Chains A and B, each alone.
Chain A
Amino acid sequence: MRSFMVNDRPVTVDVPDEMPLLWVLRDELGLTGAKYGCGRSLCGACTVTVDGQPTRSCVTPVAAVDGKLVVTVEGLEADRTAAAVQDAWVRLAVVQCGYCQPGQIVSAVALLRANATPSDADIDAAMNGCVCRCGTYLRIRAAIHEAARVLAA
């Protein structure tokens, strides 16, 4: 049995300790925002934050988040930074297939919380682990800058 917070909700799950957090979220808790893309921390589609740190949930055993706060894309709804990021994403028409975007959004929000005015190089460094096969990178970069401007205003 492992207990932790997911978004604003305390949860207790009875699953093997080594089950990756991704599958606990998706298949046990019904939170399907975080996506499976590679299972080996190579694509970033599964990114959530654990105590504020961007984390690849596909390689994080559930035991490792015991007692911690996990935030998924679903938990970003009411947050000011997240709203700025999501609005910028919509305004700049970033998404294509959309499958990677929850991981991109969670990573972008974590970046802006740590660095309110990221440079292109900062963005590349923070986002390089999030693969987009549709190739939306230029708009992701522009949307992060846009969100930073909105948040600074």
Chain B
Amino acid sequence: LTRSRKRVAGADDAGRRRFLQHSGALTLGFYLSPTALLSGRALAQAPAAQSTPMVFEPNAFVRIRTDGSVTVIAKYLEMGQGVFTGLATLLAEELDADWNDVFVEGAPADVTRYINSALGMQGTGDSTSMASAWQQMRQAGATARAMLVAAAAQQWNVPIDSITVSNGVVAHLASERRTRFGFLTPAAAALPVPATVTLKDPAQFKLIGSPLLGRKDSRAKTRGSALFTQDLKLPDMLIAVAAHPVRFGASVTSFDATAAKAIPGVVDVVQFPGDAYRPGGVAALAANTWIAKQGRDALQIQWDESQASHAGSDDILARYRSLAQLPAATDTAAASTAAPDPVASTTAAAGTAAPAAPLPVSVARSSGDASVFRSGQLQWVEALYELPYLAHAALEPMNCLVQLTTQDVSIWNGEQLQTADQQAIGKFLGMAPEQVHITPLYAGGSFGRRGNPHADYVLEAVAIAQAAAAAGHRVPIKLVWTREDDMHAGYYRPAFVHAIRAGLDASGALVAWQQRSVGQSVLAGSPFASQISDGVDPSSVEGSAEPYPIANLRIELITPTDVGVPVQWWRAAGHSHTAFATECMIDELACAAGSDPYRFRRGLLASQPRALAVLDLAARRAGWGSPLTANGPQDRRGRGIALHVSFGTCVAEVAEITVGPAGRLQVDRIVCAVDCGMPINPNVIIAQLQGAIAYGLAATLTQAITLVDGVVQQDNFDRYMPLRMAQMPPIEVFIVPSRAAPTGVGDVGTPPIAPAIVNAVFDATGQRIRRLPLAAQVAGVLT
């Protein structure tokens, strides 16, 4: 908290300094802001940036023009989660702006002004946006308000505290004088920026918490006028469609572009280099995307597969299962530091079955007495949970527009990790990060994919633009991936196996939990690798056994480094797999203890009032314990519950399902309760929870990325099935009222849904499912 406050103050100071520098040089303190300049040069998207250059900009987050328009500068990527609306709500609340006058614009890449204090860089992720902007955006709004009030007081020659502001109207009630923001901006801009401002008491909030506040991006997105990277066209721009190797790790030996270049409209074909984390390839360039794809498809390429991965996902998971074996209860090796590696056949050199060296076992968390794990006095429950690779499959496939000059490079992108991408691009081109200008556009979904730890698709676009420039095409280049390119490109949610042994004492209390998790690290080798500590990538283990207090706990991690499948955070990152293992095991323990799954969790959470309240709310609203009526004589109905805390937000979900004749599974109803601190926009929160549940349902029921001999088996939405409307169950979301500081809502709905469904299947059938997706194990899923 201290760290975050310090950063916020620093950003404000920087804003003030810039303001003073500029205001000293210009009459009345107006200046054309750097953000307006950038967007003006970039595209005519910024509302009237050049026609009305006179702007009151007291800090980096708000511009008020003489026409009264309030432009909020959003430092986070709008990828559907409603962050533009949320940031604007915070600022407009303290500004007392008329919500209809508020517009939102994405911030350029500039870490000094737009750092995410929770991530330590400019970027969007880990559901940190509202939590990290909560103070900052309100302070920015309050600062602007204070200056407008001071300007009015000066003009009317009345005391500052006699001025009121409401809905964008500044008034002195005693003298019945009123004016709007736009008329005060010249005077306000000439005033010093106050060092401190007082924020509202939450009881005074009008916008924050309002269920009536609409999204700022609704109108443009329903008209089809919202601009995505896919839509942006610059003069002379060429589309690049790239050929990638079929297997990870392969590279181009040679290629023949004769047939591709013979296609009318194909402008050129260029080869581009890869690196350790990104394949090189060959791209066809054309003004039309379809022509470029025709060109790409006509390329004859010889690939060097000597370094290619031939891994099969079945082999990978079999190896993980073997590695995850926990020492037997009587084995003194409970504190082992290495695990025997069963096979080397999943590594790059297929077929060379040299005995593999043991893999190190790292300890992520440990507490209590290790000797308890060998106790014969406890009732032990042991299970192994298994989760597949998953693609993000955002509906807008990855794409990126690059304009390269000799001095700098401009990027237009649904940009999620500005600072890391600037550094990666700068390093690739031999430029300083500041020479990498990034204009953010709406992202057609991301679910983590656009924040690639190795800047993969962004660097690919830059590499192609560089190759195109070398071939004489000094024009804007937009890389466009097809759906198949996107699905084959890797950077999947890592497959994981979690083995858990948990012990109940004679009273049925959970007193021991030993877990061994096996899966690839997302952070290893990336600029974020410094977060790996003692061999533990926190995103591999976050959420395990949480939030339950367990006296004797040991969570171990094995991180294979030779798998050869690129991995990346997916929605809710590590929580997407750890919550499954944890909440399934809690259910199994409840069963072993002869307890009701809800009441068993209640017992465990007795010392955690927030989690308990969320659990109780979900159970009450779901009618936990009430009988479920079957539609047909062969229907078996069931209810399952799961609770998880991620990114500071607690969510409980209750699933009701029917297993019909021939094992056909139907999800009938989901009830969800959430405590995310003070709800900023309840309507957006409900939508995020519903959407995250739908996203998680598809992964629970059918989705998996599988590999055979190194080749990804899913190409498109026929074999990697998204949830469709007819499969969408009713989802009721209930928000716990709270005055606590807000926490995130974008990720948090996903982790509990898979265990809630699986626990409901057990309730209905007595069948424990410990492997996702369900499709292979319950007949008729989604058919």
Contacts and interface: CB of A to CB of B under 8 A. Distances in A.
A80 interface: no
Interface in B84-117: none
Contact of A93 (B228, B287, B684): B684
A58 to B, nearest CB: 9
Nearest to A123: B725
B476 to A, nearest CB: 14
Interface string A109-153: 000000000000001110111111111111111000000000000
B724 A131 contact: yes
A131 B691 CA distance: 12
Interface string B68-97: 000000000001111000000000000000
A35 B239 CA distance: 16
A23 B290 contact: yes
Contacts of A90: 214, 218-219, 222
A50 interface: no
Interface centre among A32, A95, A133 (most CB of B within 10 A): A133
Consensus secondary structure, chain A interface: loop
A17 interface: no
Interface residues of B, number: 61
Nearest to A97: B80
A84 to B, nearest CB: 12
B224 A93 contact: no
A92 to B, nearest CB: 9
Interface string A79-105: 000000010011101111111111001
A19 B293 CA distance: 11
A34 B730 CA distance: 29
B722 interface: yes
Contact of B218 (A20, A95, A130): A95
B395 A39 contact: no
Contacts of B225: 33, 74
A96 B442 CA distance: 11
A77 interface: yes
Nearest to B688: A96
Interface residues of A, number: 59
A138 B726 contact: no
Contacts of A43: 395, 717, 722
Interface string B465-483: 0000000000000000011
B226 to A, nearest CB: 5
B218 A133 contact: no
Contacts of B218: 89-90, 93-95
Nearest to B444: A99
Given A27-B290, A98-B80, A77 B223 contact: yes
A64 interface: no
Contacts, number: 178
A132 B287 CA distance: 29
Contacts of A20: 290
B288 A97 contact: no
Contacts of B230: 32, 35-36, 99
Contacts of B221: 95, 98, 101
B394 interface: yes
Given A36-B230, A93-B214, A133 B447 contact: yes
A51 interface: no
Interface string B669-691: 00000000000000110011011
A97 B725 contact: no
Interface string B442-456: 111111000000000
Interface string A13-36: 001100110110011101011111
A39 B224 CA distance: 19
Interface stretch (B162-170, B314-322, B507-515, B692-700): B692-700
B731 interface: yes
B612 to A, nearest CB: 28
B723 interface: yes
Nearest to A43: B717
A130 B716 contact: no
B215 interface: yes
B610 interface: no
Contacts of A42: 716-718
B231 interface: yes
Contacts of B446: 97
A96 B82 contact: yes
A23 B444 contact: no
A37 B690 contact: no
Contacts of B395: 35, 37, 43, 45, 97, 99-100, 131-133
Given A33-B225, A86-B222, A128 B288 contact: no
A38 interface: yes
A18 B576 CA distance: 43
Nearest to B724: A128
A40 B290 contact: no
Nearest to B396: A99
Interface centre among A28, A40, A96 (most CB of B within 10 A): A96
Given A39-B483, A73-B224, A96-B81, A137 B728 contact: yes
Contact of A135 (B82, B214, B226, B728): B728
Contacts of A96: 80-82, 687-688, 691
B726 to A, nearest CB: 4
A49 interface: no
Nearest to A106: B224
B223 to A, nearest CB: 7
B397 interface: yes
A111 B219 CA distance: 21
A43 B487 CA distance: 14
Contact of A36 (B224, B394, B397, B690): B397
A91 B211 CA distance: 12
A7 to B, nearest CB: 11
B725 A105 contact: no
B7 interface: no
B393 A136 contact: no
B217 A98 contact: yes
B143 interface: no
B347 to A, nearest CB: 34
B294 to A, nearest CB: 9
A55 interface: no
9 contacts: A19-B290, A27-B288, A34-B224, A94-B218, A97-B395, A101-B222, A133-B393, A135-B693, A137-B728
Given A98-B80, A141-B725, 18 more contacts: A16-B264, A30-B233, A37-B396, A90-B218, A95-B80, A97-B79, A97-B395, A98-B221, A98-B442, A127-B725, A133-B445, A133-B695, A135-B694, A136-B690, A137-B725, A138-B728, A138-B730, A139-B687
Interface of A: 15-16, 19-20, 22-23, 26-28, 30, 32-40, 42-43, 45, 72-74, 77, 86, 89-91, 93-102, 105, 123-125, 127-141
Q: Which 7 residue pairs spanning A and B have beta carbons closest together?
A: A33-B224, A135-B694, A99-B444, A97-B80, A98-B221, A96-B80, A73-B224
